[in-house]
Structure 1
Amino acid sequence: MFAPSFSNPASLGQPPLRVEADTARIDRLMPPAADVSMLLVGHAHYDHLLDVPHILQTHSPEARVYGSKTMGHILAAVIPRSRIVDAEAAMARGAEPGQWFHSPQRRIRAMAIESEHAPHLFGIKLLTGRYDQDLTELPRSTFGWREGQTLAWLVDLLDEQGQPVYRIHYQDAASSPPLGLPPQLPDSKRVDVAVLCVGAWNQAAAYPRVLLQRLQPRLAVLGHWEDFFGNDPHQPQGLRLQNIRAMVALTREHLPADGQLKLPVPFAFLPLPPPAR
């Protein structure tokens, strides 16, 4: 599971100054996830991490959570350290592969990739910074949920021999290359599904063109496009000041000849391409 977000706090439809997880809303909207063993986090802003503590405690009690050092310092306020994995220390950097983390049954593996969070608007990035020690309580202000090191993720589904049969590249923040690009791996396995970030896409250089040229995905899924400031996810509105149509057109332009494009609404179920022969 990638870090889900349901609370969507807001102040009169605008970004909030104080945030708190809406546990009743999470419980109402969260699909069954008791069998999840790995929860992967891209960065520690509140709109990605705020709901994770309750989900770990209530909905995925067997899962370990993987992410940056800052993510770990925040979650340590309420989650046992034994369930928190520092993936930043083992992330891929440039052409150098990182460490694979395996699920308990060793049918899934995930590698963190050094990435970045694009500026929010006009070249300005908000909610920056990191933590260097464990917190004693969860942040209450929006600015307390510091970004930390942003990660992209490469996720493989494995066969019984431990060989990759399906590969997913995931980003929850747009990045300028080479940040976010996966390392070259000896198996030459193609990416089946790429999850891209619409939010602030035009604040990152050459995004998503260079990434798509590297990945050559069979399916590109555009996420993080909907306004999350208090809106109803069942009636989603697009992020303000974002040219979503231009992102769709640019993605379609740079997909391989057999590539598909999907921009799903929240809670949609997408048919994925079958494993390549």
Structure 2
Amino acid sequence: MDDDYTRGTRSLPLLEGGFDGRIGLTFLGVGGWLIETPRTQVLTAPLFSNPSIWRTGLGTIRADSTAIVDGLRRFGVDDLSGVTAILSGHAHYDHLMDVPWIAARLSPRARVLVNTTGQRTLAPIADSLGLDRSRIVDVSSFAADVEGGGTWIRLGPDVRLLPLRSDHAPHFAGLTLYDGTRGSDLVRPPRSAEEWLEGETLAFLLEVADAGGGRPVRIYVQDAVAREPWGFVPPRYAPVDLAILVPATYAEVDWHPEAILENTRARHVALGHWENFFAPPSADPEPVAFTLLPDFIARLRRAVSGDDSRWTLPMPGTRLELGRLRNDSR
């Protein structure tokens, strides 16, 4: 497995050449990716606070501002002020707990795009941080499915976003932790992991416009493993250039990653949310418990016909670049 991990910077080929510029993606660990296009910055929800499994199960949890700042610095990110949107497809603590502090203190321009339950969970936290509630946007009604529909959301001059109706696989033995939706705003910030209810999960499709008028670059972001056809893109938007997929809990559904790769016809796959988030953030983490990462990698390799150039297992801090290529090694 050690040879499978990627560190540093890796350049990836696009489906078609000629894109005018470069798109960078920095893996921040767990579900966090900083996506930088020529004119826009977008963040998928990171976690740096990483409460222990014992505190998560039995105690009080909350965002740790020192861990957030230290984690960003450790992984080479010192400025999030240009971020226009922070994406979280469901409202479990490991996706959403650190987000309001980041939005309030580090990304003053960013809208937080979440599901209905996420918006209602964050309401009292936003008030405690002085974060305008209007910046927390429920995008559930904008979501498409494999049949089509949905509404694109403009995130910047060269980026638009299509939410996709998705699902959350069970965590183990058919059991999904912290399942459920929230019917109204919380009146106080959540104190325990079980108060971070999932809500209705979304995936995301990003399109980056080519300044030269060519084909847009498409990036698919999976927020959680989903059984097919949940999380699928409408066929008109395939193939995608990059699919960010989740290995954790893959064995709880049939045909992951095979089904989503068949749907997206992804040119390249990057894996996120694979590492142990019950330990402090690390540039060299262990895989999360109960996920047989070597088995998932074997299935992924078969799904891409053994072409190891088509997938990346990044260590936190790794940067992927799409655009004009240079001969970077794995």
TM-score normalized by structure 1?
0.91
Matched to 2:95, the amino acid is: H
Partner of 2:272: 223
What stretches of structure 1 of length at least 5 have no aligned partner? Answer: none
Distance in 2 (alpha carbons) for counterparts of 1:253 and 1:230:
31
Deviation at 1:134, TM superposition (A): 1.6
Distance in 1 (alpha carbons) for counterparts of 2:305 and 2:84:
33
Deviation at 1:221, TM superposition (A): 0.6
Q: Label 1:265 to 1:15 Cα distance change in 2 as closer, same or farther (>3 A).
A: farther
Partner of 2:90: 43
Q: Label 1:62 to 1:192 Cα distance change in 2 as closer, same or farther (>3 A).
A: same
> Higher strand proportion, which one?
2
Distance in 1 (alpha carbons) for counterparts of 2:59 and 2:314:
29
Question: In terms of mean alpha carbon deviation, does 89-98 or 169-178 score higher?
Answer: 89-98
Does the 8 Å CA contact 1:13/1:229 hold for their aligned counterparts?
no
Distance in 2 (alpha carbons) for counterparts of 1:249 and 1:269:
23
Is 1:250 aligned with 2:299?
A: yes
Partner of 1:153: 204
Deviation at 1:109, TM superposition (A): 0.6
Is 1:265 aligned with 2:307?
A: no
Paired residues in the alignment total 272
Q: Label 1:246 to 1:80 Cα distance change in 2 as closer, same or farther (>3 A).
A: same
Is 1:2 aligned with 2:56?
A: no
Deviation at 1:120, TM superposition (A): 0.4
Q: Alpha-carbon deviations, 1:157-182, whole Å to 9, x = none? A: 11348875210011121000000111
Q: Label 1:37 to 1:162 Cα distance change in 2 as closer, same or farther (>3 A).
A: farther
Distance in 1 (alpha carbons) for counterparts of 2:253 and 2:270:
18
Question: In terms of mean alpha carbon deviation, does 131-140 or 193-202 score higher?
Answer: 131-140
Does the 8 Å CA contact 2:145/2:232 hold for their aligned counterparts?
no
Deviation at 1:14, TM superposition (A): 7.0
Computed over aligned residues only, the root mean square deviation of the Cα atoms, in angstroms, reads 2.1
Matched to 2:314, the amino acid is: P
Matched to 2:205, the amino acid is: L
Identity of aligned residues (%): 35
Distance in 2 (alpha carbons) for counterparts of 1:71 and 1:13:
22
> Higher helix proportion, which one?
2
Distance in 2 (alpha carbons) for counterparts of 1:176 and 1:231:
30
Deviation at 1:76, TM superposition (A): 1.8
Does the 8 Å CA contact 1:156/1:164 hold for their aligned counterparts?
no
Say which of 242, 247, 252 aligns to 1:203: 252
State the secondary structure of the residue aligned to 2:86: strand
Deviation at 1:233, TM superposition (A): 1.8
Deviation at 1:256, TM superposition (A): 6.4
Q: Label 1:95 to 1:29 Cα distance change in 2 as closer, same or farther (>3 A).
A: same
What stretches of structure 2 of length at least 5 have no aligned partner? Answer: 1-42, 326-330
Does the 8 Å CA contact 1:97/1:184 hold for their aligned counterparts?
no
Distance in 1 (alpha carbons) for counterparts of 2:160 and 2:206:
6
Does the 8 Å CA contact 2:71/2:281 hold for their aligned counterparts?
no
Is 1:24 aligned with 2:70?
A: no
State the secondary structure of the residue aligned to 2:162: strand
State the secondary structure of the residue aligned to 1:76: helix
Deviation at 1:217, TM superposition (A): 1.3
Distance in 2 (alpha carbons) for counterparts of 1:201 and 1:273:
30
Does the 8 Å CA contact 2:206/2:219 hold for their aligned counterparts?
yes
Does the 8 Å CA contact 1:107/1:162 hold for their aligned counterparts?
no
Q: RCO higher in 1 or 2 (8 Å CA, sep ≥ 6)?
A: 2
Matched to 1:270, the amino acid is: L
